[in-house]
Structure 1
Amino acid sequence: MMHDRVSPPSQAPNMSPTMSPEAAAAWEKRFTAALAEAAAADPAHDILHVRRVVHTAKALCAVECGRLDVVLPAAWLHDLVAVPKDDPRRSSASRLSAEAATGFLRQAGYPAELLPDIAHAIEAHSFSARVTARTLEARIVQDADRLDGLGAIGIARCFATTGVLGRPFYSEDDPFCETRPPDDGLYAVDHFYTKLFRTAETLTTEAGRAEGRLRAEEMRRYLSALARELG
């Protein structure tokens, strides 16, 4: 589990209401340093995942005209407290991350008036937490994180997690859940049906939905190729 508290450097970069590129770059160095103090829960939630979410969140923020000074820290710190997939505390991970991020940002001198919206964006990003995203910025971070579970990278993350959990890739008798209800507690491919395709339908920004449709189609093509190879 990641540290609940991390020690920020002493000097806070200057901030403007629109977050200048210089300020954003300075804060990103500090967010990276904060994450370096912690270990990922699994390969699907490592620093590469965080960087992808940040990249996507920035792109969505630009298109959707969100507040970067909320989206950027929320995207970087959304998994500050990582809980393993099979841990009973999993549904609380985003709340714990929001609390840890708020403490870090407060100590680091981040604008106090932004902390509630940042905390909300972090808490609402999680699928399992079932927290409704009330702000545009929370919707952007939520979509960015959920998009990372879709498409080619989503497939890779699904099977990486399955390997960690020691589960088979698919049911030999019914790989694609044609005659049985899907159970992703048993097989990796079942996770496509229990969560991933459903996740694509939960995206709420226009830009996120458009990208989600493309990534969901990539996943369907993968399943078609898998079916052909399995015979």
Structure 2
Amino acid sequence: MTEAAARYRAHVAAVWAAQPADGAHDLGHLARVWTNARLIALDEPEVDWPVLEAAVWLHDLINLPKNSPDRARASRLSADAATEFLARDGFAPEKLPAVAHAIAAHSFSAQITPETIEARILQDADRLEALGAIGLARMFLISGRMGGGIVDMDDPMAQNRPLDDKSFALDHLEVKLLGLPATMQTRTGRLMAEERAEWMMSFRTRLLAEIS
């Protein structure tokens, strides 16, 4: 970890200390997104590494619950808070807009098109956290926190009912997660996403076999 990343991490930890704990968006999440981002960036030319590093570590600085009415504004709020902190921290002023855009555009709910390579990498790296084994762990954690169950035992694949991922965690695969690979902005991110989505479908097959 670079000295700058250590400062970013410490600042996030301090801000989050005053917010409700969120196991799906913790320091481990930031570290994993940074790992994903570095893997993706190796295949992308002209990456501004200081911009990418700052955007990754600060992208969830303002972390709102999934069911918050202001959830769609969280990434913009994080972008504003991050640029304020970075300005005090001595970050290059001319690069602050690039950091702010990458953070604002990373969110699925914000619906902002990423216009820079750093923004595309961060969006992909963050969405990879919703896929694979870690994606399933986070999915069930969030569903349980919001009062949802694992699966509708009467109709687990929603063949005779509308999909309802607020009530049943497994529905979230079809509602959102299995569609994420098609939204990836980079070739490497898409390949990683497709592999993780395939694993999730294998898990669902096994789960359905166990409960049938």
Which bracket does the TM-score occupy, shorter chain normalised? over 0.9
- The partner residue of 2:6 within 26, 29, 38 is 29
**Runs of at least 5 residues in structure 2 that lack an aligned partner in the other structure:** none
Write the distance in 2 (CA, Å) between the matches of 1:116 and 1:77.
Answer: 14
- The partner residue of 1:47 within 27, 31, 34 is 27
Cα-to-partner distance string for 1:69-125 (whole Å, 9 max, x where unaligned)? 111100000000000111111111000000000000011110011110110000000
TM-score, L = length of structure 1: 0.87
Write the distance in 1 (CA, Å) between the matches of 2:197 and 2:27.
Answer: 24
| C-alpha displacement of 1:58 | 1.4
| C-alpha displacement of 1:194 | 0.7
Please give the root-mean-square deviation of Cα atoms over the aligned residues, in Å: 1.2
| C-alpha displacement of 1:187 | 1.1
| Structure 2 residue matching 1:54: 3-state secondary structure | helix
Write the distance in 1 (CA, Å) between the matches of 2:168 and 2:181.
Answer: 20
TM-score, L = length of structure 2: 0.95
Q: Identity over the aligned pairs, expressed in percent?
A: 45
Residue 77 (structure 2) pairs with residue 96 (structure 1): yes
Matching residue of 2:42: 62
Q: Is the 8 A contact 1:200 1:209 kept in 2?
A: yes
Write the distance in 2 (CA, Å) between the matches of 1:135 and 1:189.
Answer: 34
Matched residue count: 208
Runs of 4+ in structure 1 deviating by more than 6 angstroms, as ranges, are none
**Runs of at least 5 residues in structure 1 that lack an aligned partner in the other structure:** 1-23
Q: Is the 8 A contact 1:50 1:76 kept in 2?
A: yes
Q: Is the 8 A contact 1:151 1:215 kept in 2?
A: yes
Q: Is the 8 A contact 1:41 1:83 kept in 2?
A: no
- The partner residue of 2:114 within 127, 133, 138 is 133
